[in-house]
Every structure is written in structure tokens, then in C-alpha cells.
């Protein structure tokens, strides 16, 4: 069961993030040995971060789109400081999920991907990026 705080008001805008994470965790192709891994899935749950912060999608409350850029930069910095694998291929073997209407391009709108993730693989369900 998922913690109720992920669903303020009973609604969570990014269920695909959680569904993908659940499927990857039980996949027979999953490895816990980083030397065997072709890709590293980074379970950031960006839509949850926006929703839990109070961002109200289209207004300037909570985490703004620029704030989400900072979020992605903080994630990348944490990965680089904690594990050596980002620098091995400059992030090209790291996968993120961005389930907003414009994927990572909504961070900030019209400015493209956050520089911290420009080499990473980004999975998005909309295609408006």
C-alpha cells in the first residue's frame, strides 16, 4: 500500500510513475549489481514531488517550474556524490520519469531540459515535449 500523503485530496496525478516503479522492482531483468546494469532507473517521482510541495499546476504556488529545475539538479548532484556511476557515461545510462504534460520541458516552461539531465534518458507518457 502506498502512503496516503501521496494522494492529497484522494488524487495523485502521476500513477504511471508508481506503476512503472512497481513493475521494474519485480522484473526478472533487474540487477542490483551496478557493474551488470545497462541502465540505472532513478525513482524520483517528480510529479509526486510537485504535488506534495503544493504546486497547483498552472499557478505560481509551491514549487514553481524553476523550482523543479532545482529539484532535478539536486537529484543529479546527490547521485554524483553518492555513487560513481553517473560520471562513467555522463548520465547517459540513467533513466528518469517525467509524467507531466510536457515531461521535463515544463521545468521551466519553454526552456528545454534542465541542464543537469540533458544527457539522461527521460521516459514521458505524453509526447508534448
Ranges of each domain in the chain? 13-27+37-123
Contact 8, 51 (CB under 8 A): yes
Q: What pLDDT is recorded for position 62?
A: 42
CB-based contact 2:22 (threshold 8 Å):
no
- The residues pairing with 96 across neighbouring beta strands, listed in sequence order, are 122
Adjacency order of strands within the sheet including 94-97: 40-41, 94-97, 121-123
Kindly report whether the peptide bond that precedes residue 108 is cis, defined as omega within 30 degrees of 0: yes
Q: What is the pLDDT of residue 81?
A: 93
Predicted local confidence at residue 21, as pLDDT = 82
**116's grid cell:** 543537469
- Give me the residues of the chain with pLDDT under 50, please: 1, 56-64
Report pLDDT for 15. 67
Amino acid at each position: 500500500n502506498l502512503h496516503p500523503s501521496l494522494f492529497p485530496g484522494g488524487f495523485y496525478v502521476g500513477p504511471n510513475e508508481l506503476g512503472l516503479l512497481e513493475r521494474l522492482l519485480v522484473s526478472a531483468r533487474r540487477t542490483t549489481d551496478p557493474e551488470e546494469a545497462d541502465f540505472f532507473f532513478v525513482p524520483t517521482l517528480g510529479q509526486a514531488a510537485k504535488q506534495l510541495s503544493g504546486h497547483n499546476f498552472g499557478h505560481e504556488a509551491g514549487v514553481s517550474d524553476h523550482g523543479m529545475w532545482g529539484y532535478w539538479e539536486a537529484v543529479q548532484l546527490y547521485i554524483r556524490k553518492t555513487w560513481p556511476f553517473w560520471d562513467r557515461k555522463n548520465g547517459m545510462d540513467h533513466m528518469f520519469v517525467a509524467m507531466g504534460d510536457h515531461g521535463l520541458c515544463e521545468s521551466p516552461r519553454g526552456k528545454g531540459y534542465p541542464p543537469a539531465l540533458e544527457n539522461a534518458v527521460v521516459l514521458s507518457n505524453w509526447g508534448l515535449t
